[in-house]
Amino acid sequence: MNTQTNPSPQFYLTAPATCPYLPGQLERKVFTHLVGPRAAEMNDLLTQGGFRRSQNIAYRPACETCRACISVRILADAFEPTRSMRRVLATNGDIVSTIHPAQPSTEQFSLFRRYLDDRHQQGGMSDMSALDYAIMVEDSHVNTRIIEYRRREPGDGIGDKPKGELLAVALTDMMSDGLSMVYSFFETELTKRSLGTFMILDHISRTRALGLPHVYLGYWVKGSAKMGYKTRFQPQEHLTARGWERFDPAAES
């Protein structure tokens, strides 16, 4: 079998499928494989160009009649948390976050299944098995990490392996210009903690500590309630036909 990789990525187009975000719309995606020694470099370039990663695939929307999906990145250095975000940070002051190599665990999968069963019963990931989860985490040729969020117990925060209950997990790509949140999940019953918001705030803090400018959040879809939270993290840039531009939330009101 020929294992040599082409010097340039080969792009492919999916067939039309039902859009998961906007009723009555069809989606198509353009995609390429992220493999070989240049995978990390290509992931950086493609993410900066509006692509997202899923396992060893980079993709972006290529819909024929709709341009609602817009790539979003937070400007970490200029970010200031709102009052409600500061409350989220205070509420979760008992959480220890730890970064690990991208290796799955039974504990992670149990939390992942509870999250899917509560939030995404009808989604494309709803029937994922433990093997599917392991592939999602491990099937990567780029610089990927798992960040675990655990309830603090005595002694936690000192060593590399906190002992407390696992409350949330983020699968994150470490890029040359920041962090890209590939997928995250959490204990949905703990609504007062706002764990989804807390993980984004933690990624902003980590990005600043690394001296990097951006946190990539994936796509914002105007008109989709499930995507509305992404524009709360200001300032941020949206990828337009003119390149990355500052988003003005007042203009959308």
pLDDT in tens, 85-134: 999 999 999 999 999 999 999 999 999 999 998 876 655 676 789 999 99
- Order of strands, edge to edge, in the sheet holding 52-54? 12-13, 29-33, 57-61, 52-54
Where in the sequence is the domain holding 24, given as residue range(s)? 12-69
Residue at a domain's end among 69, 90, 117: 69
- 143 shares a domain with 58: no
Q: Are residues 61 and 107 in the same domain?
A: no
- Asked if residue 3 belongs to a domain, the reply is no
Instruction: Say which residues have a Cβ less than 8 Å from residue 55's Cβ, sequence separation at least 6.
Output: 135, 136, 139, 140
Whether 129 and 161 map to the same domain: the answer is yes
Long-range contacts at 186-194 (CB < 8 A, ≥ 24 apart): 186/111, 186/115, 186/149, 187/111, 187/114, 187/115, 188/114, 188/115, 188/118, 188/119, 189/118, 192/91, 193/88, 193/91, 193/92, 193/167, 194/88, 194/91
Q: Are residues 215 and 236 in the same domain?
A: yes
Whether residue 80 is found in the same domain as residue 60: no
In a domain, 177, yes or no: yes
Reply yes or no on whether the pLDDT at 231 is more than 60: yes
Are residues 51 and 171 part of one domain? no
**Amino acid letter, residue 219:** Y
Question: Can you tell me whether residue 96 is helix, strand or coil?
Answer: strand
pTM of the predicted model as reported, rounded to 2 decimal places: 0.91
How many domains are contained in the chain?
2
Alpha helices in the chain (DSSP H): 39-48, 83-91, 106-119, 130-138, 195-209, 249-252
Q: Is the pLDDT of residue 247 over 90?
A: yes
User: Are 58 and 86 within one domain?
Assistant: no
Is the same domain home to 217 and 138?
Answer: yes
Highest mean pLDDT of the ranges 3-7, 138-142, 207-211: 207-211
pLDDT score of 59: 95
pLDDT at 11 over 60: yes
